[in-house]
Amino acid sequence: MAAVAAAKPTSRRVGFVGAGRMAEAIAQGLIRAGKVEAQHVLASAPTDRNLCHFRALGCQTTHSNQEVLQSCSLVFFATKPHVLPAVLAEVAPVVTAEHVLVSVAAGVPLSSLEELLPPHTRVLRVSPNLPCVVQEGAMVLARGRHAGSSEVELLRTLLEACGQCEEVPEAQVDVHTGLSGSGVAFVCVFSEALAEGAIKMGMPSGLAHRIAAQTLLGTAKMLLQQGQHPAQLRTDVCTPGGTTIHGLHALEQGGLRAATMSAVEAATCRAKELSR
């Protein structure tokens, strides 16, 4: 669980260009953690389809991307990657030296962002994942050429309201997409399979899915809070001739480890393809 102390909301205005699920997750995390007041969040999108979710949070909305830049100095760009270049070209005339611009779009490198914006614009990339909505996200950020330590610290302080946030070299952002962005779906598949195994053996469906999810949550907390390598915790659970080692043998026969590694590799390679 993210250990973020409740803080008095600042008067800082935070903008979102693009109002999809990830933008909503970040905004909701910031608001829930008290980092930003809802009325100080301004989101833009072409239609009301997603903006209604921001309004439900108490945020301001608009159909003008330029209005977001004119009202907010810190702006998250959470559009689809193929749409982002046109959006940046649209807002470039109103970008000033006061702005800190953060791209959440997968696969769009910092160099491309900087080319589309005025010289010396402070740009950063963030790779979040969906659990930001419950303040348990896993995020990495990378800074552009003109973003300094103060911009990194500002962004990290805000995003820690949504979970764990670490700075990495940009080359590792695509790996994070494969590991944690796509990894949410991989973990859901495993949780579903874990529960279905119990259902097969006679446990009611609702109970099986709740216990499977809690097992994942508890295991993750132990790994994070105790700083153990997963192999150590796995060894602690195994006893000679016991239930766990028999189950692990079945997983190895099914190729779980190799399939999971291949899934992260495939998702990472796709993220790299998008960046080209």
65 annotated among ligand-binding-site residues? yes
Residue 222 and residue 245: Cα distance in Å, rounded? 20
Residue 2 and residue 10: Cα distance in Å, rounded? 20
**208: its two tokens:** 């099986």
23 annotated among ligand-binding-site residues? no
C-alpha separations of 129 from 28, 43, 100, 200 in Å: 13, 19, 21, 31
78 annotated among ligand-binding-site residues? yes
Residue 180 and residue 168: Cα distance in Å, rounded? 14
Amino acid of residue 136? E
Nearest residue to 87 (alpha-carbon basis) of 68, 59, 73, 109: 68
- What angle separates helix 205-226 from helix 183-200, to the nearest 10 degrees? 130
46 annotated among ligand-binding-site residues? no
In the β-sheet with 14-17, what is the strand arrangement from edge to edge?
60-62, 41-44, 14-17, 74-77, 100-103, 122-127, 137-143, 163-167
Annotated binding site for NADP(+): 78-81
Annotated binding site for NADPH: 65
Annotated binding site: 65, 78-81
